[in-house]
Structure 1
């Protein structure tokens, strides 16, 4: 992480925390973007975006933050197209989502994003304890999309979940981060 007067020892961005009214973890990528902003280490597109994403994840009103963000965005595009918490939060769910993204995109009717968040909340051990539920979710989505969903597919799904858990653990060997910790590999969707 960079040196910033608003960065706590446990990687909380105090600026984003104040805007969101809750704890907001940051990442080296977010810190670099903030440092390179015209208004570094202060209220800017990066800190507002982190606050906005955290409030959305908590299903809180974001009207004020969206209006504030519009004021800080360049004139050509007043608002990002999407602000997804999955872009800011590591976990086994995000790892699984990345692994299957090439053939299974979330649809308007699926519970994919909620399930990704649930897996991230559970962490590695929780996902291991709930692997049957996760496999059932994958089979349910496969069935809904007209994809194979039998015993062989269940075996493949279980393998994918275990691989996602291991990938997550390799990236975060110290253990599961707090629920609002950012994923250093993901960035703002725009």
Structure 2
């Protein structure tokens, strides 16, 4: 399996995460394989964040104030996205490759609870898309958005509680 984000010995995702030019966002074959093991959609994960941090340090570009979000992302084990997706496991398997569930959960974990609160309508839209894609018909269409909103709010509340224990 070839990663579409790999350009010779560099990674576009690492370049984007570290906000550095592509040529210095080097990635090894091993790191690339480990990243792909996270799923079909290459996304923010421990491998890509680690490589981004390493790239910044190696090139003398790391600044805690500017790149602190990467440290938070790599240390964050439980966030709104993971909590929300774990509450929906019985609806669909994100590994089937037909949806963006895993990628969107990682984005929400990266955002943190405050941004998830601000972006609740975006997340509700994602859940509505997922419901349609996975054929969720047992919830009447007019109620789906409200149910999605409640699920997101519950995940945010749980994630906020978890963050306070860190």
Q: Normalising by the residue count of structure 2, what TM-score does the alignment of the two structures yield?
A: 0.52
Runs of 4+ in 1 over 3 A off after TM superposition: 57-60
Which residue of 84, 93, 104 maps to 1:115?
A: 104
Equivalent residue runs for 1:20-35 within 5 Å:
none
Aligned residues: 100
Cross-structure match for 1:99: 87
In the TM superposition, residue 139 of structure 1 has moved relative to its aligned partner by 0.5
1:90 to partner: Cα distance: 1.6
Matched, 1:158 2:146: no
Deviation at residue 150 of structure 1 after TM alignment: 2.0
Out of 126, 139, 148, the residue aligned to residue 115 of structure 2 is 126
When the two chains are superposed, the root-mean-square deviation of aligned CA atoms in Å is: 3.0
TM-score (norm 1): 0.46
Residue 89 of structure 1 and its aligned partner are, at CA, apart by 2.3
2:58 is matched with: none
**Is the aligned partner of 1:170 residue 2:161?**
yes
- Secondary structure, in 3 states, of the residue corresponding to 1:172? helix
Taking a change above 3 Å as real, the CA distance of residues 159 and 59 of structure 1, as seen in their structure-2 partners, is same
Structure 1 spans left out of the alignment, 5+ residues: 1-48, 61-84, 178-190
Unaligned runs of 5+ in 2: 1-33, 38-44, 52-72
What secondary structure is seen at the aligned counterpart in 2 of 1:126?
helix
Question: Closer, same or farther in 2 for the Cα pair 1:153/1:59, shift >3 Å?
Answer: farther
Query: In structure 2, how many angstroms separate the alpha carbons of the residues matched to 1:152 and 1:59?
Result: 41
